[in-house]
Amino acid sequence: MESDLRSIGELARDSGLSVSALRFYDGADVLTPARVDPRTGYRWYAPGQLADARLLARLRRVGLPLAGIRAVLGAAPGGGAAHRVLDVHLRRLEDGLADARRELSLIRRLIDQRENPMTTTPAEYRFTVPARALAEALDAVRFAVGGDPGLPVLAGVLFDLDGGLLRLVASDRYRLALAEVPVGSPVDAPVAEAPADGVSVDGVSVDGPSAAAIVPAALADALRALLGSATGAVELALGGGAVRIEVDGHRIEGAALDHDYPDYRALVRLDPVRRVGLPAADLRAVVASAPTRSLPSGPDGADCEVAVLAVDEAGRLTVAAPDADGDAGGGADAGAGVPGPDALRVAVNRDFLLEALPAGADGPLVLELGGPIAPLAIRTPGRPGTFSVLMPVRLPA
């Protein structure tokens, strides 16, 4: 009955949401009123909507994004979907806290160096990593190193020592590649002592040092050549603005790039909507032969060949060229049926996608799509810390 309806002001009072917030969530199709007065536009809410409004208020307090709020409120009862959304968000918050701890540790060091410039020197960490694992990591990220002279910070590979892992990162703004290498025991104590922080790796607390250096592309290539087919251990030294590497009695060293690498961690916490797995060789063949359209979407606005990946709820993949009006259009099927109108579509730079596929690999890969404007991830099963992220191409309206 209409007499049971709550006004927008009453719902705001009883739920803890503001009137402006309720208007916003109505416009976002998250919490729409039961009735809107056609003359005044005033909103009225059904009694059962109070529980949704109170839940929405709490979801806001923990910072759940709009898409997550919509998913929780729209989830079918008993299916577990709402709890999965909350689990993903909790992991995101925990990762953010770990990032904040790392940054605060670095900030403390910088403050110490600023306050005691004559007595405090940057720490240098010496440690070992498996040669083969380091070679594979360099191969996995080298393609994404930036070449824009206006962005010298991206002209190298970030070596990020984080407790028990050495993470290699490369990006040119359009794609980002990461690879992880397990770290052996430190060779010796740091030259200048710095606090060793507790970090979390896959949910397990790991105590160890943290250090980072941007290795110039030329030095990274020299290191890869030095590694060759080595199977032993590599000794690395990071810190003090320099990088040193010793392999089988051979040593190379050079200056690290004197820049602060952009924070990449938040960029790789993806919430995929669709996943599709297939052999790398099959994906390479499909993408290489798929129709494309030349669009000004490459670096510096240069034309690039754009293809549209579409994955339906059954995991079937289609690769097509964008239509002239910017829509995904039809296209060549990847071999598992043509996805329907509900397929999730992402436009990508075809050549960048091919470069992101592991060279010569024929094993399984997993594509993760989050939406038309969300990054696309290319993963190798069994190697969660080694993957590539490709930024989507915005199609013309």
Q: How many CB atoms lie within 10 A of CB 343?
A: 20
Which of 124-133, 156-165, 339-348 is predicted least confidently?
Answer: 339-348
In a domain, residue 346? The reply is yes
CA 290 to chain centre: 26
Domain region containing 162: 121-265
184: in domain: yes
CA end-to-end distance (rounded Å), the chain? 45
CATH classification of the domain holding 29? 1.10.1660.10
Cα separation, 372 vs 31, in Å, equals: 24
Tokens of 179: 């690879």
Determine the number of helices (DSSP H) and then strands (DSSP E) in the chain. 9, 22
Highest averaged pLDDT of the listed ranges 91-100, 144-153, 266-275: 144-153
Domain at 223, CATH number: 3.10.150.10
- Alpha carbons 90 and 115: distance in angstroms, whole number: 37
One domain for residues 299 and 247: no
Q: Are residues 257 and 362 in the same domain?
A: no
pLDDT of residue 193: 42
Beta-ladder partners of 206: 199
For residues 362 and 289, state if they share a domain. Answer: yes
Q: What is the mean pLDDT of the chain?
A: 83
Of 45, 74, 103, at which residue does a domain stop? 74
CB 277 within 8 A of CB 381: yes
* Res. 387 pLDDT band, cuts 50 70 90: very high
Give the total number of structural domains in the chain: 3
Question: What mean pLDDT comes out for the span 134-154?
Answer: 93
Q: Are residues 258 and 275 in the same domain?
A: no
pLDDT at 21 over 90: yes
Give me the phi and psi of 51, to 5 degrees please. -60, -40
On whether residue 99 sits in a domain, the answer given is: no
Q: Are residues 260 and 379 in the same domain?
A: no
* pLDDT tens digits, 33-84: 999 988 888 999 999 999 999 999 999 999 998 888 998 998 888 888 899 8
Question: Does residue 251 sit in the same domain as residue 290?
Answer: no
Identify the residue with better confidence: 207 or 20: 20
User: Would 96 be classed as within a structural domain?
Assistant: no
